[in-house]
Amino acid sequence: MAKPIDKIISELRKLYGKNDVITIAKGHPAVFELLIRTILAARNTDENALAASKELFARYKTPQQISKAPLQILEKLVKRGVFYKVKARSIRKLCGILAEKYNGKVPKTMEELTQLPGVGRKTANIILTYGFGTPAGIAVDTHVFRTVNRIGIVNEKTPEKTETALLQIVQRSYWQEFNSLFVDFGRDICQAKKPQHERCPLRQWCDFYKNLKK
């Protein structure tokens, strides 16, 4: 059964406020730092990604500087969480492209972003939404993927398919705030291991909750 998207968004706004996502990263180098932090956050905790990015930017400030940094030093700076060696290589290669092709600036289109090393559609959506305020889709991170499939807004097996399905049923005016609302909801109430059903304002529409009651 189709879920009432308008009502679900309304309930989440009551909890977390109407979020028009005035860009978190205002201009360069803030957008560049957001890009690097988002890459570091892949399969990692937000805390580790933030700490690693602070270590990196305490030593190197620009794409030009990072592209010329020794790989072993970059690996040590971002050594928090998994795949740090792969991420260090991707970041250095990405920075070289930004320096040479984009004069050190982060591009503003989905096509250009997803051609950069280590940047998939989720990362590109985050940059376009929170960096430039021009969403081209819905960023489906682990919180969004878990919550929308638990509730039954969509029923998909991958983040990519989840975004495709969401774009067909979520009106464009919600795209910009959709990620932030469901990230807050996933961290606060619809947690991975201990969902707070008694506090959940969406349980009347939630397939996961209905199945538990059965």
Q: Which residues are catalytic?
A: 122, 141
Pick from 186, 178, 195: nearest CA to 21: 178
Per the CB < 8 A criterion, the answer to whether 139 and 160 are in contact is no
User: How far is 29 from 175, CA to CA, in rounded Å?
Assistant: 25
User: How far is 10 from 8, CA to CA, in rounded Å?
Assistant: 5
CB count within 10 Å of CB 9 equals: 19
Name the amino acid, one letter, at 35. Answer: L
Give the contacts of 65 (CB within 8 A, at least 6 positions apart). Answer: none
